Structure 1
Amino acid sequence: MNTVRRRAARNAAAFAAAAVLCVAAAPSTAFGAASSAPSHGGRAPAAPPAELPAGMYGTTDPTYDGVWRQSLAMLAQRAVNVMPADSAVNWLLGQQCDSGAFPAYRPDPAKPCDATTVVDTNSTAAAVQILAALTTYPDAMNNGISWLASAQNKDGGWGYSAGAPSDANSTALVIGALASGGAPVGKRLSTEGRSPYQALMSFAIPCDAKEGAGAFAYQPDKSGELLPNADATAAGLLGGVGKRMVTTGVEPGAAPVCQDLHPVTPERVARNGAAYLAKALAKTGHLDQPPMPGAADSAPLPDYGNTADAVVALTTAGYGKQAAGAMTWLEKNSAAWAKENGPAAYAQLIFAAHTTSTDPREFGGTDLVKALNATGPAPKWIGPKPLTTAEQQKVLADQKAERSSMSGNLWTIAVGLVAALAIWVLLVVRARRRRS
C-alpha cells in the first residue's frame, strides 16, 4: 500500500481498535497517559465539514490525514523555494493541542483538546518538520518535540499513538523530526536508557535471514518474527542515517552490500536496508503492493508512494545509481497516481525529485510544483527555481576557479610590486653613492 493510503488505513485501524477496547472494558485514559490504543473515549471521529477550511490542501475527507498532507505539501513547497500561504500555516498551527501534539484532524480548532482528541506521533512529527523548515515558529516546533519526547516508549521508539508498541515507520519519522529541530537524537533516551536508534535497529532483519535479508520489518508479527516490509525499510534507512523527509542526495558510491557486523550500528543496518531496496527495485524499477482484498486480479500492483520514498532513502545514503531506474519509472508512470491522491502524493514525488536533483517542474511532462500549489491556497510567494545539485557544483567549481585565478593575479601583482620596490631601492642607493 502506498504511503498516502497506508497512513489513512493505519489511522482507521487505530480508531477501530481503540473503540473495540473501550467497548470491551478498557476505560478511556487521560490525554498523554500511556495506553495501548488512542484515547478517544470510544467515540467515532467527527464527520468532516461539508466545506473544508480555506487554508487546507486537498479536497478529500481530512479525518485521517489532514495534518499529514498539509505538512507534506508545505515541506515540498519549501524544498522548491515556494512560501506557503499564511492561511495554510495558520490552519496547521491551529490544529496543535496545548500539549504540543497534533491530531490527524480536528474540525473545530477553537475547541480545546481534551481526552477525546486523538493525537498521534506521525502527524506531530510531520508538523514538527515543516515548522522547523519555516523557522519562524520555534515555540510550536519545540512544543511538538516535547510531546514526542513524552510519548517515547521504554524501548526507545515510538508507536503510531502514545503508548502503542513501537514500529519502524513511526520511530524513523520521529527521528527525522528530532533531527529537524536540532535535538540530539542519540541522546534522547527512554526511561530505561534506550535510544531511538536502538529501537530502530531492533526491526532490522539480519543478512543471513532466509527471507528479507537486510530489510526492516514494520513490527514483529504475533510470533515475534520480523517480516520484510519495503515501506518500513525505506523509512528505516532514512532514520538510520538521521535524516528527515526532505533531504539532499550525496555523491553516489559503490553498490550497497548486506553485512552483519558487530557491534551493530544504525548506519550499518541502514545500509543493509539499502541493499534490500536496491535488489527489490532492480526487478521492475518499482516496488509492489499486494492487491486489494477481493480484487479479481491477484497480480501485485505498482507502489508509487513507497517507490518514491525508496528513491529518497537510497539517494540520501549515497546509492543514487541504484535509485536511478526507479526515478525514471516514476517520471513515466506516476502522473495519474499523483493526480488521484493529491497533495501528499505530489509532495512525495517532489521529495524524490529534490533529492535526485531532478527538475520537479518538468517531471515526465508534469509540473509537480504547479500541480501541488493548485491543491490549496495560492502560495505567499514563489521564488526563483533552486539550483540542482549539478548546477550548485558547477557554481562552486566556477567560484573556486575564480578564486584560484584571482589568487594567481594577486600573486603576480605582488611579485611585480616587490620587483618595482627592489628597483626603486637600487636606484636610491646608486643615487646616494654618486652624491658621496
Structure 2
Amino acid sequence: MNVRRSAAVVAVLAVTSGLGTGLGTGLGLGLAPAAFADDTASEASGSPSAAPSQAFPTGLYGSTDPTYDGVWRQSLTLLALDTVGEKPGAGAVDWLVGQQCASGAFAAYRADATAKCDAETPLDTNSTAAAIQALAAVGGRDAEAGRAVRWLKENQNEDGGWGYTAGGPSDANSTSVVIGALAAVGDAPEKQRKDGNSPYDALRALALPCGDGEAGGESGTKDGGAFAYQPDKKGGLAANADATAAAVLGSLGEGFVVEARRGEGKGAASFDDCAPGDAPEDLAHNGAVHLAGALAADGYLKSSLAGAEDQPDHGNTADAVVALAAAGDLDATGKPLSWLRKNYGVWAAKAGPAAYAQLVFAAHASGGDPRDFGGADLVAQLRETGPAGDVDDYSSVPHEDTAAGDEAGDGLGAGAWWGIGLGLVVVAAVVGFVLVRVGRKRPEA
C-alpha cells in the first residue's frame, strides 16, 4: 500500500468509507494489530525518520518513532527471536515489561513509562495480546502475562470477541490475536465466554459462506470462505484478506508462531473444496481455500485500505503464508514465499523489525530456514535493528510500579476512553492500526 499521505488522511479515508470494508491489524497475523502499510510509521504519519540525534528508548528494537507500534514491534521481535532459538537480551524484555500498566494492559507506546496510566491512556487489545504472546515465549514473566490476560478477559465483548480498544466493536483481527494470547498461556479460548459466546462465535459471525462444497465460494464468487474485518454499516460482510489470514489462525487457536505441517486441514478432502460445516476448523479451512485462490495468480496479496493504490502488500502476504501453513496447505505457500524472497528487501528495510519478524514467522511456518531466505539471513537482519543496550542487566529501565495491582480508572472499561468521543476514538484506532501493523492484513481478496 502506498502511504505517502498523512496518518490523518488515511484515518479519515478509512472512517468515511466504513470500518468494515477493508480495515482489519496485524493480527493478525499479521493483524492486527498490523500496519496496513508497506512503509515505515514515520512515513505514514508524514514525519521524518528519526534523526541521528533523536534519542529512542534503550532496549527498543527499531529506529523509527514508536508512538503507534512500539509494543507491537517489540513483541513480534521477541517472538521471532525465540522462534529461531535466539535468546533476546534482558534489556529488550524489560523494556516491554516496563510499558505495562498496573491493570495489566498495554498501550501502543508510553513515552513516559514511569507515569501512572489513567482513563485517557489509549490501551488496546492488540498491543496487550501481542505482548502476552511474547512474554509467554521468553519465559519468567508469568505474573505480567497473567495480569494482561486478566485485563483482556475483563473486556471481552458480549458477542465473545474483542475490538481494537476495550468496548469497541469486535473485529476479526483483534479477536484472533487475543485467541493467540489465551492459547499462549494455556487458556482454552473456547472456554472464555461472555453471555454464553466464545471468541469462535465472534469469528463465525464474520465468516462469508464458502458455497456448497465448491471452491470459489457462494455462487462462484471469489469471496467465499473469506472473513470480514467487521460488518459494514448495513450489517453486510465484505471479504478482507488481512482479516482472513488472522481469522484462520484464530479459528485454529493459533498465535503468531506456527509449526510446519502438511495436509492436516479438516472438514474437506482437499484444499480445492470448501468444508461443509461451521466448526472453527471448518471455517479456518475455508479461509485457507480463499487465501490460496487469492494468491494463485500473482503470488502476493494487494492492499485494500480505502483510498490506497492497488499494489502488493508484503506483510499481508507473509501473514497469509502463516495462515495457509497453519491450515495444512503447504503447497499453496510456495508461490507467495518465492515472491517474498525476491521482493521483501526494500520493504523490510524501511518497515523495520516487525517486518523481519513477519518474514521469520512465514519461513518457519512453511518449514523453511529463516537464516537462508533466498540466500539472506532474516535473523541477522532482525538483530541489526536491535538496540545497542539490549544487554543482560537492565534493572534501571523506567516503568510504572505494577506490583500493587490495578489503579482506579486504568482500564478502558465502562466507556471511559470512548466517552471522549466516538469519532476521535475511531480515528485514533484506525491510525494505530495503520501504523502499528507493519504491512499486515487489509488487501483485496
TM value normalised by structure 1: 0.74
Q: Could you list the per-position Cα deviations for residues 258-309 of structure 1 after superposition, in whole angstroms to 9, with x for gaps in the alignment? A: 53634x211111101010001011111111114884x7xx5x2111101100
- 1:260–1:319: structure 2 CA closer, same or farther, 3 Å change rule? closer
Work out which structure has the larger RCO, using CA pairs closer than 8 Å and 6 or more positions apart in sequence.
Answer: 2
Aligned letter for 2:209? Answer: P
Counterparts of 1:350 and 1:13 in 2: how far apart (Å)?
29
Aligned counterpart for 2:274 among listed residues 246, 259, 266: 259
Whether 2:153 is the aligned partner of 1:145: answer no
Corresponding residue of 1:281: 295
Counterparts of 1:53 and 1:316 in 2: how far apart (Å)?
35
Aligned counterpart for 2:140 among listed residues 124, 136, 154: 136
Corresponding residue of 1:319: 329
Aligned counterpart for 2:311 among listed residues 289, 292, 301: 301
Paired residues of 1:157 and 1:167 also in contact (CA < 8 A): yes
Larger CA deviation: 238-247 vs 364-373:
364-373
Counterparts of 1:274 and 1:138 in 2: how far apart (Å)?
33
Q: Following TM superposition, by how much is the alpha carbon of 1:324 offset from its aligned partner in structure 2, in angstroms?
A: 1.2
Whether 2:339 is the aligned partner of 1:329: answer yes
Aligned residues: 341
| Bigger-Rg structure (1/2) | 1
Corresponding residue of 2:58: 54
Counterparts of 2:274 and 2:306 in 1: how far apart (Å)?
35
TM value normalised by structure 2: 0.72
Corresponding residue of 1:201: 204
Corresponding residue of 1:170: 174
SS in structure 1 of the partner of residue 302 of structure 2: strand
Question: For residues 154-193 of structure 1, what are the structure 2 equivalents within 5 Å?
Answer: 154-190=158-194, 192-193=195-196
Paired residues of 1:206 and 1:260 also in contact (CA < 8 A): no
Whether 2:110 is the aligned partner of 1:106: answer yes
SS in structure 2 of the partner of residue 284 of structure 1: coil
Paired residues of 1:257 and 1:272 also in contact (CA < 8 A): no
Paired residues of 1:252 and 1:321 also in contact (CA < 8 A): no
Counterparts of 1:332 and 1:161 in 2: how far apart (Å)?
36
Corresponding residue of 2:381: 371
Corresponding residue of 2:359: 349
Corresponding residue of 2:286: 272
Paired residues of 1:249 and 1:317 also in contact (CA < 8 A): no
**Bigger fraction of residues in helix:** 1
Paired residues of 1:255 and 1:322 also in contact (CA < 8 A): no
- 1:108–1:280: structure 2 CA closer, same or farther, 3 Å change rule? same
Aligned counterpart for 1:115 among listed residues 115, 119, 143: 119
Structure 1 spans left out of the alignment, 5+ residues: 18-47, 382-436
Q: Following TM superposition, by how much is the alpha carbon of 1:195 offset from its aligned partner in structure 2, in angstroms?
A: 0.4
Q: Following TM superposition, by how much is the alpha carbon of 1:184 offset from its aligned partner in structure 2, in angstroms?
A: 1.4
Paired residues of 1:237 and 1:273 also in contact (CA < 8 A): yes
Paired residues of 2:244 and 2:291 also in contact (CA < 8 A): yes
Corresponding residue of 2:235: 224
Aligned letter for 1:338? Answer: A
Aligned counterpart for 2:95 among listed residues 71, 74, 91: 91
Q: Following TM superposition, by how much is the alpha carbon of 1:374 offset from its aligned partner in structure 2, in angstroms?
A: 1.0
Q: Could you list the per-position Cα deviations for residues 34-70 of structure 1 after superposition, in whole angstroms to 9, with x for gaps in the alignment? A: xxxxxxxxxxxxxx99411111011111111110000
Q: Following TM superposition, by how much is the alpha carbon of 1:175 offset from its aligned partner in structure 2, in angstroms?
A: 0.3
Corresponding residue of 1:75: 79
Counterparts of 2:171 and 2:313 in 1: how far apart (Å)?
21
Q: Following TM superposition, by how much is the alpha carbon of 1:328 offset from its aligned partner in structure 2, in angstroms?
A: 1.2
Corresponding residue of 2:370: 360
Give the aligned CA root-mean-square deviation in angstroms.
Answer: 2.6
Aligned counterpart for 1:240 among listed residues 251, 266, 269: 251
SS in structure 1 of the partner of residue 371 of structure 2: helix
Q: Following TM superposition, by how much is the alpha carbon of 1:230 offset from its aligned partner in structure 2, in angstroms?
A: 0.4
Aligned letter for 1:286? Answer: Y
Paired residues of 2:274 and 2:289 also in contact (CA < 8 A): no
Whether 2:263 is the aligned partner of 1:249: answer no
Aligned letter for 1:184? Answer: A
Counterparts of 2:151 and 2:196 in 1: how far apart (Å)?
18
Counterparts of 1:364 and 1:249 in 2: how far apart (Å)?
18
Q: Could you list the per-position Cα deviations for residues 398-427 of structure 1 after superposition, in whole angstroms to 9, with x for gaps in the alignment? A: xxxxxxxxxxxxxxxxxxxxxxxxxxxxxx
Poorly superposed stretches of 4+, deviation over 6 Å: none
SS in structure 2 of the partner of residue 288 of structure 1: coil
Q: Following TM superposition, by how much is the alpha carbon of 1:249 offset from its aligned partner in structure 2, in angstroms?
A: 1.6
Counterparts of 1:364 and 1:344 in 2: how far apart (Å)?
19
Counterparts of 2:199 and 2:304 in 1: how far apart (Å)?
30
Paired residues of 1:100 and 1:147 also in contact (CA < 8 A): yes
Paired residues of 1:121 and 1:174 also in contact (CA < 8 A): yes
Counterparts of 1:344 and 1:315 in 2: how far apart (Å)?
20
Larger CA deviation: 203-212 vs 91-100:
203-212
Q: Could you list the per-position Cα deviations for residues 225-245 of structure 1 after superposition, in whole angstroms to 9, with x for gaps in the alignment? A: 100000000001011110010
- 1:116–1:289: structure 2 CA closer, same or farther, 3 Å change rule? same
Counterparts of 1:260 and 1:248 in 2: how far apart (Å)?
23
SS in structure 2 of the partner of residue 287 of structure 1: coil
Aligned letter for 2:274? Answer: Q
Aligned letter for 2:337? Answer: M
Aligned letter for 1:265? Answer: A
- 1:134–1:291: structure 2 CA closer, same or farther, 3 Å change rule? closer
- 1:58–1:120: structure 2 CA closer, same or farther, 3 Å change rule? same
Q: Could you list the per-position Cα deviations for residues 151-207 of structure 1 after superposition, in whole angstroms to 9, with x for gaps in the alignment? A: 1000000000000000000001100000001011101001x1100101111110001
